[in-house]
Amino acid sequence: MACYIFGAGSFYGLNRRPQPEDYVIAADGGWRACCQAEVTPNLLLGDFDSLEQIPVFDNIHRVPVEKDDTDMMLAVKQGLAKGETEFHLYGGMGGSRTDHTIANLQTLAYLARRGAVGWLYGNGEQYTAICNGSMTFPARARGILSVFCLGTDAEGVAIEGGQYTLQDAVLTAEFPLGVSNHFVGQAITVSVRSGLLLLGLHEE
């Protein structure tokens, strides 16, 4: 099972289609992306500042406009409360709201800190985060993998299998040492002993 969340940002199509056993949340204007993808959500939530009118739908959770959480974060918390550990976030990048893109990248960190895996999909790119652990990306002939530190210094960072390798390094949030590594036809494994890493996959 996985949790699929559709936000109000730019929607570039589905990398993966939700299965009947998955839980789908439309976060406010993400309702439009669900309609475009012909996906019926299990829940529609938000403050509804991104929709001209609230749709006629059986399961709606309305929240105040003035709140600490973004609609995407509220949806993530809802999924976590249901015991979900795998999240796919659409409509969370692009458009004119770079602040929401950054907020959604931080949401990946929120998930990683709580033992869950989140994927944020954009236009030919996708991001995830790992905390005190590792992740292996399957081999591909071409493509770019970037690795960034989120928060305090990430220690014991290793990158194996890419064009550029790294062993027991320290990445900081102030210098992008891990940007634009390349796939060379084999799997790439990224690991961090202590800290949080943002990992970005890009088409080439």
Per-residue tokens: 196? 């949080």
CATH superfamily of 3-125: Thiamin pyrophosphokinase, catalytic domain (3.40.50.10240)
Ranges 32-41, 45-54, 78-87: which has the least confidence: 45-54
The pLDDT, as a whole number, for residue 96 is: 64
pLDDT at 191 over 90: yes
CA distance 10 to 30: 9
* Residues 71, 173, 144, 130, CA torsion sign: negative
Mean pLDDT of the residues in the chain: 94
CA distance 40 to 70: 22
Residue 190: enclosing H or E segment and its boundaries?
Answer: strand 188-191
| Cα atoms found within 13 Å of the Cα of residue 192, Cβ hemisphere only | 23
Residue 68's pLDDT band, with cuts at 50, 70 and 90, is confident
Please choose, from the candidates 15, 9, 18, the residue with its C-alpha nearest in 3D space to the C-alpha of residue 128: 15
Residue 153 CA to chain centroid, in angstroms? 21
